[in-house]
Amino acid sequence: MLNATQIVAAQKVMQTIFNQAMAEMAGANPYMALAQLASEIISEGAEEDYRWLGAMPLFTEWFGDLTVEDLAEYEYTLKNRHFAAAVGIDRDEIEDDKWNLIKPRIQALAVRALQHRGKLIEDLIINGTTYLAFDGIAFFSDITGVRVNDNLLAGTISAATPTIAQVEADLDTVRQAMMQFIDDKSEVIGITPTIFAVHPKLERLFRTVMRSTADPGISNAGAYNPFAEWIKGVVVLPSASDVNDFYAFCIDYPVKPYVWQMRKSIETELVEQKLNRKQIFKGDYRANAGLTLPVLAAKVVSAVA
């Protein structure tokens, strides 16, 4: 059995390895790039109330009392969840200073922690036609009920043979649609999508459209490429199943399309299991991810084979 001094010393080494891996490997995985789609909110309790999402302000000429939206119209509460993961380490490995065998497992735990936020956001994106927004309607939806904007659009990209021309046509469609999104007073908001989330098989085409100096969809090599000016980024959805669907997001707004609600940052600890000579190095934190304003996002769905 390890004594208390050995446990404290081993835990300190493991925490150092973990923290170094968190710093060095941030951004090294496609899931981590999805974090840019979420506003980070510091939570101070078991849950947070986001009904204020239904109170988008509107400037009008001031004649008398100002009109303020009624916050009580909506209910959208995001409860914090407790997440944890751990790796097992044999007591003999610690006693024999087998850090070359221990280190990769600690680093892998750090990478998994870094990925987790993105995986939760990816789940919200992929299931956005099912998960309900603050107004009680699916985040990606046609016009229905109190939803006055259609952010579930039809696309033209082929699943079998996607082309640059198809990608550009659908980018035009979604940009034009989102720029004309209105609020509940029929005022145009002026939303412009700049980040696009795609299936891995579409990544090359979207990045070609984004990065090319000349328009890759036109045979004239000197043709101006308008997409290069307004596409800020392409992120990949590793778990996406529909090859020819993609998502458009506006992140240049006081809130982003998703929220990352942080209650307790990740804490690590070495825990001893006396019966099987195993040590468990665990990390745990409390947080959750949720939806914000549907006008900040759109899904483009193609039925082309």
Q: What angle do CA 284, 288, 289 make, to 5 degrees?
A: 135
- Residue 125, SS3 per DSSP: helix
The answer to whether position 213 is within a domain reads yes
Q: pLDDT digits over 16-62, tens only?
A: 999 999 999 877 689 999 999 999 999 999 999 998 887 665 555 55
Nearest to residue 15, comparing CAs of 114, 102, 115?
Answer: 102
**CATH code for position 244:** 3.30.2320.10
The answer to whether position 268 is within a domain reads no
Q: Is it the case that residue 65 has pLDDT exceeding 70?
A: no
Dig out the tokens for 178 from the structure.
């989102």
Higher pLDDT, 237 or 187: 237
The answer to whether position 234 is within a domain reads yes
Domain that holds residue 240: 152-257+294-302
Q: Is it the case that residue 69 has pLDDT exceeding 60?
A: no
Mean pLDDT across the chain = 91
The answer to whether position 233 is within a domain reads yes
Q: How far apart, in whole angstroms, are the C-alpha atoms of residue 127 and residue 121?
A: 10
The answer to whether position 12 is within a domain reads no
Kindly report the backbone phi and psi dihedral angles of residue 278, in degrees, each rounded to the nearest multiple of 5, phi listed first: -105, 145
Quote the pLDDT of residue 284. Answer: 97
For residue 157, give the amino acid letter.
I
Kindly report the backbone phi and psi dihedral angles of residue 73, in degrees, each rounded to the nearest multiple of 5, phi listed first: -70, -25
- When pLDDT is averaged across residues 130-152 and rounded to a whole number, the result is 95
Q: pLDDT digits over 244-298, tens only?
A: 999 999 999 999 999 999 999 999 999 988 767 789 999 999 999 999 999 999 9
- Residue 186, SS3 per DSSP: coil
The answer to whether position 288 is within a domain reads no
Residue 132 bridge partners (DSSP): 138
Reported confidence tier of residue 70, pLDDT bands at 50, 70, 90: low
The answer to whether position 198 is within a domain reads yes
Which long-range contacts (C-beta less than 8 Å, at least 24 apart) are formed by 18-23? Answer: 18/106, 18/107, 18/109, 18/110, 18/268, 18/281, 18/283, 19/110, 21/106, 21/107, 21/110, 21/111, 22/110, 22/113, 22/114
The answer to whether position 10 is within a domain reads no
**Least confidently predicted of 7-16, 104-113, 214-223:** 214-223
Q: How far apart, in whole angstroms, are the C-alpha atoms of residue 151 and residue 96?
A: 59
Q: Based on the structure, what is the number of domains in the chain?
A: 1
